[in-house]
Chain A
Amino acid sequence: MDGDFLTIKLKNCIITYIQNHKKKTIFWIILTLIAFVSYIFISNNYSYYTSPIATINNIKTTTDTNSDGDRIIIQHINATIRNGNDKGLPVSLENIYEPSNVYTDKYVTGNDVFISYELSENTSDSNTDTAFTATITGLKRDKYVSLLIIILVYILIILCNKKGLMTIISMIINLAIFYYAIDMYSKGHNILCLSIISAVLFAILSLIIISGFNKKTLAAVLSTLITVAIITLLSFILVSNNSDIDYSFMEFLYFSYERYDANMLFIAEILLCGLGAIMDISITMSSTVNELVDKNHNITSDSLFKSCREIGHDVMGTMVNVMFFTNLGGCIPFIILSMKNSVPLPSLIKYNMFFELARFLTGSIGILLTIPVATYISVYIFKHNQEARQ
């Protein structure tokens, strides 16, 4: 009796909700459908790849020891080819991994892997029952990347509607600028000049997209550019007067770099790293000044400075924290590998974490500098404008 009553009540609740929010519900359903369809499409896009792909059906494992006497695990994999001329054929693969998986990979059932094989004519004709062998060249990871991107876009739009969409658009524009800048770099332009130009574009476009075309944005853009200029100059002076930076610890730096090039790259990294946080603080400060002037037209500059100081104190601590963890998180695996290979901690901090620490510190200096810079500029713009009107 009770259960029936509850289900009926729940049903009614849902029905009234749907009736009241008809448009919203339809929107949700369509969005969910799009998300599902695009995920299923991307996880089955085998025919778009030219290299053969196989899906792992089952795995048998055996253990062994390698030449150094360390334990290794061998996976005997049965898989099915998913594309190309041999689509549907079974294939047997072998994968060897170390328990730590520092350089190796462990595969699980359901993974898609890229394979390479040479099929001799007679085996494929005579017996299709016994699977031929191939070697694994890598894991197909595109479906995981797209799954996360779909989740991100989906919750952004569901929770933040129009603002979420704007955030996505601004990310796409920024990525396009970034891609173009890297393209120009590989054509031989100076990376620092490119970063400065793209930083100006990033700042103007992102801030306009976030807060519209108004005085608030103008103040934020100006203070962002000034602060970025200051920290770029600071890092330029420090980097070019410092000859003992060991660039062999900088990740992915191509082998035959020249010192000048490496310096420029390092400064460009520092500049881009701090840019987002500086924009964040700038827009916070200029919005605050805007709100205060809007609420009370006769507010004095002194009390504006005082309020901005308070707000600045509130935001600086956690922003510095964001810079710290997001920058240093990435270097954990390398530190652990080095610790396990008995590299002492002080030299780890000095060499392995050097670039991360430098980016974090300069970014934080940028965050702190933005507070007074943004305050002065926004107070000047808003008060000056007010006086001009009177």
Chain B
Amino acid sequence: MIILLIIVLFLLLLWIGGERGIDTMWTLFWNFIIFIITVTLLAHNFNIYIVTIISCITVSCMTLFFENGKNIKTYTAFLSVMLVVFTLIPIVYFISSRSSIQGFGMEYTDIDESYGYSGNINLSMIDISIAVIIIALIGAILDTSLAVSSATYEVYTNNKNISLKELVRSSMNIGKDILGTTINTLFFIFVGESLTLMILIKDSYSFATMINSKIFCAEVFQILFSAISCIIIIPATAYISSYFMIKSHE
């Protein structure tokens, strides 16, 4: 079934995307490889912060520079993505190390020592939970950031005499337009992902048990961090791209 879906996806990419579709295909392929390598490195006890940051950098480079070309739009988007990732890591660390959302709660009925999954794996699951949150949000912030910086570029090329303040304001406005749909996209991905979990919770938990349970928090923290990062990437990209675009023409 997976192979069939992959074939359908590639045919559609060729039909709809044309040459750009081939680039997307390559990016997707490499992102998959990077994803697998990242997980393997994490499983072999490499430092999670270094692995996470390096995989964020490589994914961003692939998506921005390979798929969308090397230009001021992608450079400024790259800079803002890095800025947001670096500011988020300490916040994610603070919240996940205190709220203990790592590992597998009792809701995972088939993941247990008795099923042969030894819990003594010589690796901190708290660190892994931080890596998961960061890797899950990288795709969404890349999308938002590139959209904002491209829009800023369009505004700037149509009016080269625009002041920094006005340029920031109009790119912020475009960012606000994108935001609603981006949050919607994330929201539905998580709804789809956690449908079975929500059914389980609905049948057996009270509201108080649900909101304090490990598994619910782990899922919700992922969507909340993705949404928060998507919001703060908008002003970050608006300022950085406006500043560099005006600076580059002086």
Contact = CB atoms under 8 A, between A and B. Distances in A.
Interface of A: 49, 68, 70, 98-108, 110-111, 114, 138-142, 144-145, 147-149, 151-152, 155-156, 159-160, 163-164, 166-167, 170-171, 174, 178-179, 182-183, 185-186, 202, 206, 209-210, 234, 238-239, 242, 245, 248, 250-255, 265, 268-277, 279-280, 283-284, 312-330, 332-341, 345, 354, 357-359, 361-365, 368-369, 371-372
Q: Which 4 A-B pairs have CB atoms at the shortest separation, nearest pair first?
A: A329-B136, A273-B192, A276-B188, A325-B139
B102 interface: yes
Given A103-B104, A167-B180, A238 B5 contact: yes
B83 interface: no
A266 B75 CA distance: 40
A64 to B, nearest CB: 14
Given A103-B113, A316-B16, A318-B146, A144 B95 contact: yes
Interface string B102-132: 1110011111110011111111111011011
A239 B1 contact: yes
Contacts of A358: 1-2, 5
- Interface on chain B toward A: helix, strand, loop, or mixed SS? helix
A189 to B, nearest CB: 12
B90 interface: no
Given A276-B189, A341-B121, A326 B195 contact: no
Given A101-B103, A318-B63, A329-B136, A163 B179 contact: yes
Contact of B125 (A101, A148, A371): A101
26 contacts: A105-B100, A141-B214, A144-B99, A155-B232, A156-B179, A159-B172, A174-B191, A239-B1, A268-B192, A272-B195, A280-B181, A280-B185, A317-B23, A322-B139, A323-B189, A324-B32, A329-B135, A330-B193, A330-B219, A330-B222, A333-B128, A338-B117, A341-B121, A361-B8, A365-B12, A368-B16
B235 A159 contact: yes
Contacts of B199: 182, 185-186, 252, 254, 265
Contacts of A327: 189, 193
A341 B118 contact: yes
Interface centre among A141, A313, A365 (most CB of B within 10 A): A141
Interface residues of B, number: 118
Contact of A248 (B12, B31, B110): B110
Nearest to A354: B2
B142 A321 contact: yes
Contact of B17 (A252, A268, A368): A368
B227 A283 contact: no
B143 A318 contact: yes
B85 interface: no
A273 B185 CA distance: 8
Contact of A269 (B172, B195, B235): B195
